[in-house]
Structure 1
Amino acid sequence: MKIKKYFSLLSLFFVAFCCAQPQKTAKKTTSKDQPILLADPTIFSENGVYYLYGTTTGKTSLNGEGFMVYTSTDLKKWKGPVGAQNGLALKKGDAFGTKGFWAPQIFKFNGKYQIIYTADENIAIATSDNPLGPFKSDSKAPMFNLGKQIDPFVFVDQDGKKYLYHVRLTNGNRIFVAELKDDLSGIKEETLTECISGVLPWENTQNVPWPVTEGPTVLKHNGLYYMIYSANDFRNPDYAVGYATAKSPFGPWEKAAESPIISRKDVGINGIGHGDVFYDKKGKMKYVLHTHYDNSTDSPRKAGIIDIDFEGNKIKANAKSFVLLKE
């Protein structure tokens, strides 16, 4: 009996001691810990709000259904998806496309918000009164029919002329440009011009027969045109970002000797690239882009931001500034 009583007292002491100690529990994963799974991202900002869009990636009910949008006021805390239609800013059926909703860009034209994007390996455009959508188009047709093309980017020059940079799938992913019609209804086909293709060693590290250059962003600085682009297949760990310069929107384009300016060697994460330039509230230049999920898995891809800037006539990236975006 004494032995039983002893063990009973010992058990009570053990329980009391354990309850009095700080409990070490596994950290619960909350929504704030979740990475934002978007590829080919772009950020549009207005009235102190940043709007993040991109290609849906990973297993989600919204995959293939259009374009999600997230919002933030500080680039750190993100809410979403918050699109007007169950998280979607553009929903399949409201505009051109049945699948492959990729690489959107958002801009304002004639007081309306425009989303230009890829679907069914063609380029289309839709309109909304709100950056959250719904983006719609009466036309269920692509902007033009000249084969397969993806990754659109609209650049408006200082003289008001508009240009569509995009990727044509012809013996590789090649970047082209064409002048847009004034009403954005299509391109002036006679102006279609090839800009660049993947011919440098860093642009085709696996030496594949279908080299890839894609995801163009074009801007102008001190009278010179800059094209920021990505090269290699997005599944390749060496997917990276470089740039080229020209004295005309049509080129000829000279690739920068210091390219790539953003790569896994700089940031330590595989598959980093295909993004867009934007400016924060202080006017600081930034580049939103995607990475592989981790260094052993390429999908789903994660969205992140890195600081970039001009140094003379060169573009430099600050690898230490890179951050992944989280909900």
Structure 2
Amino acid sequence: MKKILTLIASLCVFVACSQEKDTKPPKTVQSNPILLADPTIFYNKGTYYLYGTTTGNIPNGEGFQVYTSSDLKKWNGPSGAQNGLALKKGDSFGDKGFWAPQILEYNKKFYMIYTANENIAIAVSDSPLGPFKNESKKAIIESGNQIDPFIFIDEDGKKYLYHVRLTNGNRIFVAEINDDLQSIKPETLTECISGTLPWENTENKSWPVTEGPTVLKHNGLYYLIYSANDFRNPDYAVGYATSKSPLGPWEKSADSPVISRKNTNQNGIGHGDVFWDKDNKMHYVLHTHYTNSAVSPRKAGIIDLSFEGNKIKAESKSFVLFEK
């Protein structure tokens, strides 16, 4: 009987050890986020092209990488024409601080408008993959410091350069830009907005920040989507203002911020661009902090946007970070 009990005990120990081994949690699969800040997406002939300020793989003084996707889920790259870069230092204006690019197709060419050396320049290519080249090697505005450019072309063909001027804060301005996209009409330069609301300056800084403008038109009304607070602040967030004219005056929405850490659980979420997918659904591509305790390198992702009447709504449950 003693031998039988000993055998049963041994079997129990064996079974218990086997169960413990089999029920160990599976190894965590490490994600591989795309490390871009201030991102933008350009859609062309079935392919999505993702650009932004490089924050992880290479120094942001080397140029702009580009990633590609056919479905916004699987991303390849960096796929730029020059070792992953769509634009590289040497073909560009400036030699450091390559930030916040925007891509547009115009006159059968592809244009990249961007920041370098805290000034705005524009480069041209025959392909969204580049190589983009800035032939003039000059800034569009040759006085002061400007960042975060965005070109909006209205239905009447007039073109507007929205940008941020570094003067008593990061303030968003607009000016008409000439048809060659190389210079502005200085007499049209107008301030749009600055950081005056509590949500736009949660740390009460003496240098309030509004930046990252994107402009679109819906039902005859102009929408200026922007980010506020310093990008290092967890409260960095996205709001919008509306106007009946591309030059303003602008009325800030009482619904702002529409994207923030409160509805996405992501710190430092913002500074992106609107784009429409192949099914004509509207999205906003943006960046977040790397973790809850680390700002950089920042990660890129998207969130769905929609109009409800004249209001912009973000579908926070749709937020997805990009992985490669």
Equivalence for 1:6 = none
2:115 match: secondary structure: strand
Equivalence for 1:261 = 258
Change (3 A) 1:163 1:87: same
Equivalence for 1:46 = 44
1:250 and 2:252 aligned: no
Superposition deviation, residue 84 in structure 1: 0.3
Equivalence for 1:136 = 133
Find 1:235's aligned residue among 211, 215, 232: 232
Find 1:163's aligned residue among 157, 160, 163: 160
1:113 and 2:107 aligned: no
Equivalence for 2:278 = 281
Q: Aligned equivalents of 1:68 and 1:79: distance in 2?
A: 11
Give the share of equivalent positions with the same residue, in percent. Answer: 74
Equivalence for 2:100 = 103
* Paired letter, 1:324: L
Superposition deviation, residue 209 in structure 1: 0.1
2:100 match: secondary structure: strand
Superposition deviation, residue 109 in structure 1: 1.1
Find 2:54's aligned residue among 35, 51, 56: 56
Q: Aligned equivalents of 1:103 and 1:179: distance in 2?
A: 20
- 2:60–2:96: 8 Å Cα contact kept in structure 1? no
2:275 match: secondary structure: strand
Superposition deviation, residue 183 in structure 1: 1.1
Superposition deviation, residue 310 in structure 1: 0.6
1:143 match: secondary structure: coil
Structure 1 runs, 4 residues or longer, greater than 2 Å off: 21-30, 60-63
After TM superposition, the structure 1 = structure 2 runs for residues 184-199 of structure 1, keeping only pairs within 5 Å, are 184-199=181-196
* Paired letter, 2:189: L
Q: Aligned equivalents of 2:71 and 2:219: distance in 1?
A: 29
Unaligned ranges ≥5, structure 1:
1-13
1:271 and 2:268 aligned: yes
Q: Deviations over 1:29-71 (max 9, x none)?
A: 57xx30000000000001110000000002x335320000000
Superposition deviation, residue 24 in structure 1: 7.0
* Paired letter, 2:259: I
Aligned-residue CA RMSD in angstroms? 1.7
Equivalence for 2:3 = none
2:285 match: secondary structure: strand
Q: Aligned equivalents of 2:64 and 2:248: distance in 1?
A: 32
- With normalisation by structure 1, the TM-score equals 0.91
Q: Deviations over 1:270-297 (max 9, x none)?
A: 0000000001111100000000001111
Q: Deviations over 1:208-245 (max 9, x none)?
A: 00000000000000100000000000000000000000
Change (3 A) 1:28 1:79: farther
2:199 match: secondary structure: helix
